[in-house]
C-alpha cells in the first residue's frame, strides 16, 4: 500500500505506478508530494505484538507474545 505523508490518503500500486505523486494533493493544491510505500498499517503491527521502528532498525516481537 502506498500513502501520502501530507494528506495521509492511501493508494494502491496502480495509482502509485501511474503518477508517483499524490493525486489528491496535486489536484487540490497543485503540489507534488511523492507517495511512500508502507508494508503494514501501524494498527496491524500493534495487533500482531510488533513495534514499528525506523527503516534502519529491525522490527522486534514483544516478550509477552511467547
pLDDT in tens, 13-63: 888 888 889 999 999 999 999 998 877 666 656 666 766 665 554 445 555
The helix/strand/coil state of 62 is coil
Looking at residue 59, what is its pLDDT? 47
- Kind of pairing between the strands at 10-11 and 2-4: antiparallel
Burial (CB < 10 A; 0-12, 13-18, 19+), residue 15, is middle
Looking at residue 16, what is its pLDDT? 83
Q: Is the pLDDT of residue 12 over 60?
A: yes
Q: How far apart are CA 43 and CA 10, in angstroms?
A: 14
Amino acid at each position: 500500500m502506498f500513502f501520502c505523508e501530507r494528506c495521509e490518503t492511501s493508494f494502491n500500486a496502480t495509482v502509485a505506478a501511474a503518477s508517483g505523486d499524490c493525486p489528491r494533493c496535486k489536484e487540490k493544491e497543485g503540489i507534488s508530494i511523492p507517495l511512500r510505500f508502507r508494508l503494514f498499517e501501524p494498527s496491524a503491527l500493534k495487533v500482531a505484538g510488533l513495534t514499528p521502528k525506523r527503516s534502519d532498525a529491525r522490527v522486534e516481537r514483544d516478550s509477552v507474545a511467547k
